[in-house]
Structure 1
Amino acid sequence: MNPAVNPSPSAPRPLLEDWTWQSRGSCRRAAPEVFFPEDAGRSGLRAREEQAKQICRRCPVLLRCREYALTVGETYGVWGAMSARERTRVFAEGA
């Protein structure tokens, strides 16, 4: 049997398929710094994270983006309207 025709269930999916959702993301129209804000004190960081989350909340791929970040264990930036701290809490709850 040709594995390219019938890959095993544990085989990784092609990268192109995994990333096509990103082309529809609202974040594509914003600077990367919006989603990966520098830490400038707690209130400054949270204000910048909130700016990114506002963009995320109107995004057509919000749930796919969040799923991706939680699946791969993304530890930086705002993904799917969740900050790195919020995702860390989700990871800890699942442990």
Structure 2
Amino acid sequence: MARPSRYAPDTLPRPHHWMEDAACRGTDISVFFPVSRGGVSTEVETRYAKTFCNRCPVQPECLRHALTFREDYGVWGGLNEDERAELIRKARREAERRRRRQREKEKANAGAAA
């Protein structure tokens, strides 16, 4: 982990990061970026990667990171890229519904006030 500042001495304690508590810490990173090879499908490799996520104490933080930084590939927080994209689509649709309901409510209130 990097120093808090390039001017800070190496002896300063480093801030704790959620990744330090991840169940996958120390695991070969390629596990979380499945590619079909050797007759093993990406689906099987994805399920294997998710076994780490299922027991991970920082799964929500990992998923939040992937959604915040738009990680395009791999398994993050227990979801693959397609599942994360669907989660984002659902959130956008729900936000649009809320905006639409709010506009309709504002129109109705404006009509009643007139």
Query: TM-score surpassing 0.5?
Result: yes
Cα displacement (A) at 1:74: 1.1
> More relative contact order in 1 or in 2 (CA 8 Å, sep 6+)?
1
2:81 equivalent in structure 1? 84
| Unaligned residue ranges in structure 2 (runs of 5+) | 1-13, 93-114
Counterpart residue type for residue 46 of structure 1: E
Percent of aligned pairs with the same amino acid:
34
* CA distance in structure 2 between the partners assigned to 1:78 and 1:29 by the alignment: 16
Cα displacement (A) at 1:39: 4.0
* CA distance in structure 2 between the partners assigned to 1:81 and 1:22 by the alignment: 14
Cα displacement (A) at 1:92: 2.0
Normalised by the size of structure 2, how large is the TM-score? 0.60
Give RMSD over aligned pairs.
2.0
Counterpart residue type for residue 82 of structure 2: R
* CA distance in structure 1 between the partners assigned to 2:55 and 2:26 by the alignment: 13
Normalised by the size of structure 1, how large is the TM-score? 0.71
Q: How many residues align?
A: 77
1:67 equivalent in structure 2? 64
Counterpart residue type for residue 70 of structure 2: G
| Unaligned residue ranges in structure 1 (runs of 5+) | 1-15
1:46-57 aligned at under 5 Å gives the runs: 46-57=43-54
